[in-house]
Each structure stands twice: as C-alpha cells, then as structure tokens.
Amino acid sequence: MCDHQLAHIYVKNPARIAEVKALVEGLDGVDQVWDEAGKRANGLDHERSGELVALAKPDRWFSYYYWLDDAKAPDFASTVDIHRKPGYDPVEMFCDPAISMPKVKAGLKLLKRKLGFRQLMDLTSIKDTQLVRGSHGLLTAPEDGPLVISSEAEMLPDDEAIDATEFKDLVLRHVFE
C-alpha cells in the first residue's frame, strides 16, 4: 500500500520477509526498506503497518499501479477518482499528453453528463508517471525544512529548530500574546 514516497509492504508468509526486503531494496528508486527494527526506530511499528516499509529516493515516488497490462487496468485508473483508488494518485493533476485537444474532450464529456449520460472523465494517463516532478512523504533534512520568520524575535525559541508538534503553540502565542 503506497502513498507518495512511502509504501507499506504486507508479506503473507513471514518466512519470506527477508527475501522480499532484499528484492525491494534492489529496485531502482528505493532508498530504504525498514523491517521491524527500522519501523520501531522510526515510530511506525503499529498493528496496521506492513511487515516492511519502503521509502523512495528524494526524487522518486511510488505508484499504486498494480496491473502489468494497461489493457487490463481498472476503469478508475485514468480518471480522477479518489474514492476507488488505493492512495492518492498525483498523475491525476495532469491531462494525458496523448489526448489531442484535452479541453475539448473534457468539455464534451461534461456536456454529455449535463444531458444525463453516464461518462467517465478518463483524461489522465496510466503510463506517464514521469509527469509528476515532485512528491512528499519523506522526512525533510533540517537545512531544507520550513522556515519561521517573526517580527517578535523574543517569542522564538533560543535553539534554532523546533519540533513540528511545537509549531501550533508557537503560532498561537504569536496570535494571542
């Protein structure tokens, strides 16, 4: 089960976990694969977590596409349909580059819907995952993380960094104090 740059991998046969881990670690675009010790060290050792957790390289993301033959892809694959897809599909943000005049095609589909016809809004690609140029899900290196700027320097903590869980309180202090 994947979502952006993180994937939970569920392995039915516990005897094959090491084999699956080695297989996934060898895939292009995979940066790390956490087993029980890795999940525990990173706070992901809960009952719904997969036996393994894979993290993509910073410039990559995991696609949920589970079919090997595009002709057998589910109907929702080329649509914007967040309720039937297993995880968010960032390719939904782009029209399929193979569609000539995509605005016209979209307009005709909308017109047909307005006239009462059932119509799939199949305007996204099921092949062009490279359209997605960025993603999220990995921990950010401190030097690449968010920046807090305040005109009330005395309200900022003495050390340079704060935990993400402390940010809300910092903002509320700025608003109400």
* Residue range 52-69: mean pLDDT, rounded: 89
pLDDT at residue number 93? 83
Predicted confidence band of residue 4 (pLDDT cuts 50, 70, 90): confident
pLDDT tens sequence across 39-55: 999 999 999 999 999 99
Tokens of 72: 């057998």
pLDDT > 70: percent of the chain:
99
